[in-house]
Amino acid sequence: MVVIDPEETVLENTPKPPQPAPSTSKTTTDSTRSETTTTTTKAAAVKVSDSDGFETASESGVSDNEEEQEENINKEISSKNITEDQPKQDTQNDDELIQRGIEEANEAKLEGNRLFGNGQYEEALLQYDVALQVSPPDVPSSIELRSICHSNRGVCFMKLGKFEDTIKECSKALELNPSYMKALVRRGEAHEKLEHFEEAIADMKKILELDPSNDQAKRTIRRLEPLAAAKREKMKEEMIGKLKDMGNSLLGRFGMSVDNFKAVQDPNTGSYSISFQR
* Contact present, 141 and 102 (Cβ < 8 Å): yes
Per-residue pLDDT tens listing for the chain (278 residues): 333 334 333 334 444 444 544 444 444 444 444 444 444 444 444 343 444 433 333 344 444 566 666 666 666 666 665 555 555 566 667 788 889 999 999 999 999 999 999 999 999 999 999 999 999 888 888 999 999 999 999 999 999 999 999 999 999 999 999 999 999 999 999 999 999 999 999 999 999 999 999 999 999 999 999 999 999 888 887 787 777 777 777 767 766 676 666 777 788 887 877 776 66
Statement: the pTM of the whole predicted model exceeds 0.85: no
- Cα–Cα distance for residue pair 31/10, rounded to 1 Å: 42
Burial of 198 (0-12, 13-18, 19+ CB in 10 A): middle
